[in-house]
Amino acid sequence: MSDARTFRLTVAYDGTAFFGWQKQPDVRTVQGELEAALSRALGGVIKTAGAGRTDTGVHARGQVSSFVHDTTMPARALPHVVNPLLPADMRIMDAVEAAPRFHARHSAIGRRYEYRVLTRPDLLRDRTSWTPLSAPPLELLQQACTPLRGVQDYSAFASTGSESADPVFGLHLARWREAEGGYAFDVIAHHFLYHMVRNLVGTAFAAAKQADPAAHMRAVLESRDRRRAGQTVPPKGLSLEEVYYEGEPVPWAAPGEVA
């Protein structure tokens, strides 16, 4: 492709009926649907990359995808052309032309996930939130997460069954807050281990039942033993909210600074 251009898409989807992001044979995936729609709209076989390989049942408001094509169509026109070809549970929210070397996954320097918990049943939020039988007070959940920030070994929160990743890295944010209908857990890092966010939530719930939630979480963290951590909570509450790239404002920098 001598006139190839690199495009960056922001994609949102309700992950309930998808078998995750990554394209797989004979099952419905976000990447598979996106590539099929792009190929129909632009012609040729289009291969996309995704910033986060969200699992089955996990949602996104801010997934980033990139692809290369020689179309002369303005990037801003892509949502209008491609969205009618996509299923009702996913949408391209934004499209821009990126630098030639841009890659949605490899160029990313941070990802923000949110896990939503309902403290009482809510039919209209049920598809994108977890409703436990009981939820601890918000302040105890937040106490449990105070040891998590900084560069540490997060092996205790990694489930087996996927590609390995370096367990030593830094969490820029690990915070519980009030959200409509319940709570939300926000977490930011360069990358995450398999099921890590869901395991952090499950461990926070377990820690909140202890006399010292922070001490319990710290003991789990320092053990590097998955058996010490809490349950893996359901995927339905998890959403990839934002992806960060160099040269753009990031929430862990000082005001006015960029990555």
CB 113 within 8 A of CB 63: no
- Active site (annotated) includes residue 55: yes
Q: What is the residue-wise DSSP string for 58-111?
A: -EEEEEEEEEEE---S-GGGHHHHHGGGS-TTEEEEEEEEE-TT--TTTTEEEE
- Total residue count of the chain as it appears in this document: 259
E strands in the chain:
5-13, 49-50, 59-69, 90-98, 108-118, 150-153, 168-179, 182-189, 238-245
C-alpha to C-alpha distances, 67 to 74, 103, 127, 195, 227, nearest whole angstrom: 14, 8, 30, 27, 40
Out of 3, 26, 55, 225, pick the active-site residue: 55
State whether residue 18 is helix, strand or coil.
coil
Residue 153 to residue 47: CA distance in whole angstroms: 34
How wide is the angle at C-alpha 169 spanned by C-alphas 255 and 129, nearest 5°? Answer: 75
Residue 194 to residue 148: CA distance in whole angstroms: 17
Residue 68 corresponds to which tokens in the numbers above? 């290369």
Point out the residues that are catalytic: 55
